[in-house]
Amino acid sequence: MRRGRLIALEGIDGAGTTTQARLLVDWLVDQQQPAYLTCEPSRGEVGILLRTLLAGDGDRAVMALLFAADRLDHLRREIEPHLDRGAHVVTDRYVYSSLAYQGMDLGLEWTASLNRLAPEPDLTIYLHVDPAVAAHRRAGRGSMAETFETDPQQERIALFYNDFFGSDPGAGSWRLDPGGSEWIRADPPARPALATVDRQPRWAVLDGCLDVDMLHDQIRKVAAKICALP
């Protein structure tokens, strides 16, 4: 049985990762592909504890340790079994969320060391969005802001993501061709932030400010390449 592919969506709060992860799984299922939607923090015991802490003001170092523990539990309990059964797994957030969110306060090297056992996804999709646009979207939710959802923190987190992946669609290891119709492999220039965390992602940068359907169309095209679909 062919092992499934792991696809992670990343971005600041309000970038659209949750919506696009759901749409991608729906599309994969429509293509007769086994697919599984998940998220981090996970639905496991550690993830439930984390969601409680995020609603308050927990110690940042403690949360970083819990995020790393939740990720390993998530991998062993949920992600790996589905991949082994041939299902494509789409996760709303993964290791780069820890590096951006906890790395800004606790240091990239220490945060990366906690997550060194987390394997790279087959594809990381970074939804780049202006922090002001994301703030407007978060305000429209009408829900209580979590620990990391203040505007100054989100602006700092966006800078970390941009350091990892770049901020335009031409920065990734997967890029749209000049006509904007097909994704092609590319050799991105060295990114010092990735060397700092000792990771080698396979990634695509997309404009998170695009219309939802247009953005989904671009995501499904690059996912089709990763999942070997026509």
Residues 6 and 83 sit within 8 Å (Cβ to Cβ): yes
Cα 79 off chain centre by: 14
What whole-number distance in Å separates Cα of residue 208 and Cα of residue 80? 28
Homologous superfamily of 6-226: P-loop containing nucleotide triphosphate hydrolases (3.40.50.300)
* Of 66, 67, 100, 70, nearest in space to 196 by CA: 100
Give the pLDDT of the chain (230 residues) as one tens digit per residue. 799 999 999 999 999 999 999 999 999 999 999 999 999 999 999 999 999 988 887 789 999 999 999 999 999 999 999 999 999 999 999 999 999 999 999 999 999 999 999 999 999 999 999 999 999 999 888 777 777 879 999 999 999 999 999 999 889 999 998 888 899 999 998 999 999 999 999 999 999 999 999 999 999 999 999 998 87
Bridge partners (DSSP) of residue 183 are: 176
pTM of the full structure = 0.96
What whole-number distance in Å separates Cα of residue 229 and Cα of residue 36? 17
Task: Give residue 206's pLDDT.
Answer: 97
Task: Give residue 148's pLDDT.
Answer: 85
Task: Give residue 208's pLDDT.
Answer: 96
Residue 140: both structure tokens together? 């429209």
Domain boundary assignment for the chain: 6-226
Bridge partners (DSSP) of residue 148 are: none
| Cα within 13 Å of Cα(228), Cβ side | 8
Task: Give residue 191's pLDDT.
Answer: 95
